[in-house]
């Protein structure tokens, strides 16, 4: 069956370090991969989108990679800050004809000051 797994339920890092979150998938051939941030009691907020033919995308302190051979995406936050503490979700869109997203389980990131 189709499955998306994010590396861990929780990740604790020190302020200023780089946080690396992992998203692995099986039995998919996603067309697009997206990363969202979700704070408690709020809806997810879009961060980055990367297509299957793109290896890397950057936006300010954020970087996402997409390896279709390893069936994995890595999400990096450099120079992390306590304000980056949240749950981060990866999501796939299987084709370009739908907005249906299949979400991973999420990783709760805690950045310690």
Partner 1 sequence: KAGVTQTPRYLIKTRGQQVTLSCSPISGHRSVSWYQQTPGQGLQFLFEYFSETQRNKGNFPGRFSGRQFSNSRSEMNVSTLELGDSALYLCASSFRTGGSNTEAFFGQGTRLTVV
Shortest spacing between CB 66 and partner 1, in angstroms? 14
CA distance 100 to 108: 23
Question: Should residue 100 be labelled a site residue for partner 1 when binding is judged by CB under 8 A?
Answer: yes
Which of 42/113 has CB closer to partner 1?
Answer: 42
Burial of residue 25 (number of CB atoms within 10 Å: 0-12, 13-18, 19+): buried
State the DSSP string of 11-30.
EEEETTSPEEEEEEEES---
CB under 8 Å to 53, separation ≥6 — which residues?
Answer: none
Question: Should residue 49 be labelled a site residue for partner 1 when binding is judged by CB under 8 A?
Answer: yes
Shortest spacing between CB 51 and partner 1, in angstroms? 7
Shortest spacing between CB 17 and partner 1, in angstroms? 27
Contact set with partner 1 (CB under 8 A): 32, 34, 36, 41-46, 49, 51, 89, 91, 93, 95-106
């Amino acid at each position: 069956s189709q499955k998306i797994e994010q590396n861990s339920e929780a990740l604790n890092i020190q302020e200023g370090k780089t946080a690396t979150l992992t998203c692995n998938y099986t039995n998919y051939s996603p067309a697009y991969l997206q990363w969202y941030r979700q704070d408690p009691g709020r809806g997810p907020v879009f961060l980055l989108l990367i297509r299957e033919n793109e290896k890397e995308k950057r936006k300010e302190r954020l970087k996402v990679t997409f390896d279709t051979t390893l069936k994995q995406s890595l999400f990096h936050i450099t120079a992390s800050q306590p304000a980056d503490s949240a749950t981060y979700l990866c999501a796939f869109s299987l084709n370009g004809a739908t907005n249906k997203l299949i979400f991973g389980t999420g990783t709760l990131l805690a950045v310690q000051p």
